[in-house]
Structure 1
């Protein structure tokens, strides 16, 4: 980058000295609106190019915004980089530190006083986090690819502790990068976070303090929330719930990138910023009358169709509930533990159930096994239920829930659920279009936050199961949008374990699970996959 930044600092209300780099256009002749990004990824590392090998480069195209008349401020969060204090990720106190930096830069002579926030992933966490503290000079956020509820969105999926992402993010992007720059692991208490997170397996005060979700209903500034289908297991849920919770002018865009690397590349695509983000910032920070608020409230990319569609709200108001019922009848479409079916009619007879034991003796890489040629097979040793071919094109857009009647010979069980679109012709492989997780002992729901197609689990305590007793469990599925063409099928896969090949980096700790689980699907226990479907 040609422009050399200068450093600014302040002492926060907590007494920490925090520092940020300020980038100004070379030809700046007066005060400018400010875009601020905040992360623990060391502002000094902006010399590194955006690349999947550097997943923490999430700040966006700085020079692009300088060229369009903005100042850019890159802040090291407390306890990271050049900022002092204790690193307490996404805590409310961290949000207050960003609040204080916003007010500090708004008062500088090079700033107009209008501040927006920018950045993806952790930078997006900082946006939600600062917004809930309501800084007077924060005029808007563009929350690209960022969770709002650290417990449910990624740390403890359905109450099940994640493992892969937690270690790769914490050690690879934060701790070891600081060590390379001569900053010890222990400085700022950065090493404490792993122990603290593992010490809080329920959604207690420690967890809720770092989940902006609980206060976003107080946020009334304009919010543009941008989710990415390819980051579904980490951030996508937060972009939807964040959009739904805030109360001011707002829009939701769910973009097409289908991978973690694709989401990063897209955020550095200047055409994307020119089309989507720049008009939003120009309107809310410069007062430009550019019609950006006339765009549809919700826009989303329909997977397997390759086009964007729009709606007045999420879920789309015209979406209706479609039910698929689990059946023990063989579908004849896949090699799996049971090869069950999904039917359009509820079961009329019983009993009917599917039992399986774990750990499966053939699992090789998590649930994945390998054929004679070394090709991975992710479904051969899990339970599956597959529909009949679609008799016409059908769009499934909105929320989803799996209601599963289960029993076990243990005192607990885990459910890891995937929904796949199975092509009806050609050699294309099934594509995952949604997923969900639930630990049965944490099945209790919060009524005021629960809807028929989206259970909101409390996760405040464990209620052990009685072996042999059948329980109705409701698994929240991540938001989805896909087109099933005529001849395509929908497949449901269920296990209690995942695959480091198919599910990385959001894999989960297996623990000490040994036992037999049974999924019941008869007239007394109609286990059901419910999806929202839009008319075509």
Structure 2
């Protein structure tokens, strides 16, 4: 098909810029289409999202790019890197391999007209239509796969649940699958990430025009040929933060962006990041677990949010999966282990292990009990009933395991049971797993969005303590978040708290600890301010996933933790029998 659009030809690709795709209501979205030199029919790999298909990765995110290619220079090999785009695949590594690559600006973003409404049902309807459009083009063999990071991953879950006929496989690479629990409200506590994130997207709203960046390969505006006034731009976007604030419970507002797991029939390669607490980690693991694991594979890695998507390790996994399901290659993927983990070691190192299930079949769940007086974690319940109080927004209480005498591994889901009372009608609990070296110095890890991430994190607002008995598992409490149940002042309550999955191999003389507080975790060591350039946010421990705007009067009232026979506060940890690493 000859597009009525700007075309460029390289040694390995035919590129068509701003190809129009008309939606059901007449709105026109724009796509960049990268095709092999030879005429023919190819499977298509697609992204649809807000970040601007014409923006150059190296220019817009120079710090993350520099860190990534310094650590992994292989990323730059075999490519001119002219067409690198934030969190999407490099066409020079895919198109010569026999794929068509399609990048689409979402409605109201980049070069696509319309009202911008991130993470909305409207976007998913558009995505469905785009998949069907691509699948029926003369250059497509009828098969469409989805491949992208973050925003380009999260909406894959939703559109796959609608079962577009031409969709054949998806690779949601670090993509949330529960917007309420994993993005907007952590344990019922509002996360303010979206507030800061939205401000960073203003320069790529459709109509920003001449004020925005240029596509380095075309010289055209990344955010559309039309330049609108600030008033017009404001009218053309939905106030997402206001909507989120107006829906603090998991109500009907979220129905349109709730994944229908059983409806996802296509093969799935879901990839997570151990350092992704606060957004994507939980979603990718749920995406493997929720659908009965039929035709689903889970991979979990480390480093920054985007890094392994571009490394030889990541691209090889992506190609083997997609070649098998989009091209029908007999490449051994059908015998690939269902679970592939890069288990986390000290010093930001990793060692691979594989399995056929999650949690890992060789997991022994061990309950460690809190001792309020000694501030320890032990395998036996303290006989005496004890308690300790703290000021939630000012203080924290840390409970330490004994230093380990031999190397141990903890990999899998984590849960806690904490008995508390409050001097106010509510309380926010922030639970953090931390690691300390033999000298007592805290050991951080390179997280997805923070250079000083802890081992694991979990959250719960006490008034959201109601559990869903059908979905709750011993190692994964599942809260309904559909009702607020205020606390009676001074009354003791049992709270079940989900701590997001983790992996850590602990050497001898190191010490694992659980910190309980009412505020965001902050790394106890010195902060290297230069790391901000690599992550785009201050690396104090939580990256952009902060929880502000909370009432001092309600959420800073004294909270008391109870331990002992009558109140067996505890944490459930997934110890691994070291079969593969021995």
- Give, in whole Å, the separation in 1 of the partners of 2:184 and 2:62: 22
- CA distance in 1 between counterparts of 2:299 and 2:494 reads 34
Structure 1 residue corresponding to 2:302, chosen from 250, 256, 259: 256
Tell me how large the CA RMSD over aligned residues is. Answer: 2.2
2:409 corresponds to: 395
> Where in structure 2 are the equivalents of 1:64-213 lying within 5 Å?
64-163=93-192, 165-172=193-200, 174-178=201-205, 179=208, 180=212, 181=223, 182=227, 186=233, 189-212=236-259
User: Once structures 1 and 2 are overlaid, which stretch shifts more, 77-86 or 523-532?
Assistant: 77-86
Structure-2 residue corresponding to 1:218: 263
d(CA) in 1 for partners of 2:383 and 2:266? 52
Structure-2 change in CA distance of 1:47 and 1:459 (3 Å)? closer
For residue 452 of structure 1, report the CA deviation from its aligned partner. 1.1
Task: Determine the C-alpha separation between the residues in 2 that align with 1:525 and 1:79.
Answer: 53
Does the aligned pair in 2 maintain the 1:50–1:268 contact within 8 Å?
no
Counterpart of 2:437?
A: 423
- Work out which of the residue numbers 22, 26, 29 in structure 1 matches 2:33: 22
Which consecutive unaligned segments of at least 5 residues does structure 2 have? Answer: 1-7, 66-84, 213-222, 446-453, 523-537
Change (3 A) 1:7 1:439: same
Partner of 2:497, secondary structure, is: strand
- Between the aligned partners of 2:204 and 2:102, the Cα distance in structure 1 is 21
> Does structure 2 retain, via aligned residues, the 8 Å contact 1:399–1:453?
yes
CA contact 1:220–1:246 (8 Å) conserved in 2: no
Equivalent residue for 2:483? 461
Aligned to 1:353: 387
- Corresponding position: 1:284 with 2:294: no
| Superimposed CA distance per residue, residues 168-221 of structure 1 (whole angstroms, 9 cap, x where no aligned partner) | 32111x223334344566367424212112211111111232232xx0221011
Q: 1:84/1:267 Cα in 2 relative to 1: closer, same or farther (>3 Å)?
A: same
Aligned position for 1:372: none
Q: Which moved more, 1:42-51 or 1:137-146?
A: 42-51
Query: Equivalent residue of 2:384, what SS?
Result: coil
Following superposition, the deviation at residue 146 of structure 1 comes to: 0.5
Q: Aligned partners of 1:456, 1:10: CA distance in 2, in Å?
A: 40
Which of 512, 522, 527 is 2:569 aligned to? 527
Q: TM-score, normalised by structure 1?
A: 0.88
Structure 1 position 430, deviation (Å):
5.3
Structure 1's consecutive aligned runs of 4 or more residues displaced over 6 angstroms after TM superposition are none
Unmatched 5+ stretches in structure 1: 331-339, 361-380
Partners of 2:510 and 2:147 in 1: CA distance: 40
Q: Which residue of 2 aligns with 1:33?
A: 43
Instruction: Report if the CA contact (8 A) 1:421-1:489 is conserved.
Output: yes
Does the C-alpha gap of structure 1 residues 297 and 46 become closer, same or farther in structure 2, counting only changes over 3 Å?
Answer: same
Quote the residue 2:24 is aligned against. Answer: 13
Deviation string for 1:21-46 (max 9, x for gaps)?
Answer: 11112x22211110001111122224
Supply the distance in 2 between the matched residues of 1:533 and 1:288 (Cα, whole angstroms): 38
| DSSP 3-state at the match of 1:281 | helix
CA distance in 1: counterparts of 2:418 and 2:126, whole angstroms: 44
Contact 1:49 1:57 in 2 (8 A): no
Aligned-partner Cα distance in 2 for 1:216–1:188: 35
Question: Which residue of structure 1 aligns with residue 366 of structure 2?
Answer: 322
TM-score (norm 2): 0.81
Shift of 1:143: 1.0
In 2, distance between residues paired with 1:291 and 1:49? 38
How many pairs are equivalent? 496
Larger displacement relative to structure 2 (299-308 or 196-205): 299-308
User: Deviation per CA, 1:47-87, whole angstroms, max 9, x where unpaired?
Assistant: 75573657981112221111211111001112222223333
Change (3 A) 1:84 1:191: same
Alignment-derived partner of residue 235 in structure 1: 280
- Is contact 2:18–2:111 with CA below 8 Å preserved after alignment? no
Query: Cα offset for 1:454?
Result: 0.6
Select the residue among 49, 53, 59 that pairs with 1:43. Answer: 53
How far off is 1:358 after superposition? 4.7
- Between 1:435-444 and 1:240-249, the stretch displaced more is 240-249
Shift in Å at residue 126 of structure 1? 2.1
Distance 1:427 1:497, change over 3 A: closer
In the alignment, is residue 487 of structure 1 matched against residue 509 of structure 2?
Answer: yes
**Contact conserved, 1:51 with 1:265, CA < 8 A, in 2?**
no
1:313 and 2:335 aligned: no
Q: Distance in 2 between matches of 1:420 and 1:477?
A: 12
1:515 maps to which of 557, 560, 574: 557
Partner SS for 2:561:
strand
Q: Give the Cα–Cα distance (whole angstroms) in 1 for the partners of residues 203 and 238 of structure 2.
A: 11
